[in-house]
Amino acid sequence: MKIKQYRTQFIKELSPFYDAYEAESFFYLILEDKHKLRQIDLALNHELNFSESDFVVWNSLLGQLKKEVPIQYLLGKTSFYGLDFEVNENVLIPRPETEELVEWIINENSKTDKTKKLRILDIGTGSGCVAISLAKNLPNAEVYGVDISKKAIVTAKRNAVRNNVDVTFVFLDILKTEKLRFNYDIIVSNPPYVRNLEKEEIKKNVLDYEPHLALFVEDNDALIFYRKIAALAKSSLLENGQLFFEINQYLGEEMTDLLETMDFKNIELKKDIYDNDRMMKGNI
């Protein structure tokens, strides 16, 4: 069968689960990953064919997509802030909103004295996407990442090698930590923040396949990680140090109150590309 014909069939079979644009994007992501062919290649050569072995691979992926397994997990990789990352069932798939958080940190610190070392800590590092992106774009940064998942740490270490950066990743249960090992110029965290009451808003591909350990908190204590991390930041940030958070879009006011109560200065709440309260910054 010609690839162009299979494309039509592929999109049609996914139509009960995804809109046509998303299904088509999946097709071209797989085409490039498995065959090194781009959309333009197919447009220029309508006679390209799949072999029998190709059909086995494609039909297997199609079956997984019908179960709404994330395409990033099927391909084992994703792009974040212009870099390539391995992702698997042990780590969250990085979101565009988190790229905005990284952009904010870089913009706030890219004009600092390049001879001055910036020590940065990423709490709940997951795939390492935040820590690695910061290390790649802030050459004067010494970056650390911690996570409660040892399997996530293994993935993050591979991603550091993949992107040719030096980041120190270690296991740490932040809720059981009384004092951080070093002092830092910047602490950043995208901790679990989705309340159980919000599960009905979560898409099946996230709810069924991404690690709940990195997603959910109890309804009656949704700020548990923020409160703990902010307390550690108070004792571990250097003078004028910066604390950055990605937050639950419904809890911007509560987060502002939390940082004000803990005497952080220059508190900023920023919206993401979808106009949701998503990022916060405070200074010591």
CA 262/CA 284 separation, integer angstroms:
10
**pLDDT in the model for residue 42:** 93
The contacts of residue 271 (CB under 8 Å, 6+ apart) are 277, 278
Q: Residue 7 contacts by C-beta under 8 Å, 6 or more apart in sequence?
A: 24, 27, 42
The rounded distance, in Å, linking the Cα atoms of 264 and 230 is 9
pLDDT of residue 132: 98
Residue 114 has pLDDT above 90, yes or no: no
pLDDT for position 112: 75
At 170 the pLDDT is 97
* Residue 248 to residue 233: CA distance in whole angstroms: 20
pLDDT band of 126, cuts 50, 70, 90: very high
171/151 Cα distance (integer angstroms): 10
Q: What is the token pair recorded at 2?
A: 């010609």
Its pTM stands at 0.93
Beta bridge partners of 147: 171
β-strand pairing of 118-123 with 141-147? parallel
pLDDT of residue 111: 79
Give the chain's mean pLDDT: 96
**In percent, how much of the chain has pLDDT > 70?**
100
What is the model's pLDDT at position 113? 72
Round to whole Å and give the CA distance between 202 and 96: 16
What is the mean pLDDT of the segment spanning 110-133? 92
Radius of gyration of the chain (CA): 21
What per-residue confidence (pLDDT) applies to 163?
98
Mean pLDDT of all residues in 61-73: 97
Beta-carbon-side half-sphere exposure of residue 168 (alpha carbons within 13 Å): 10
146 HSE (CA, 13 A, CB side): 17
Residue 92: pLDDT over 90: yes
- Coil, strand or helix at 159: helix
Separation of CA 53 from chain center: 34
Q: Give the phi and the psi of residue 277 in degrees, each rounded to 5.
A: -60, 120
Please give the structure tokens belonging to residue 15: 């139509």
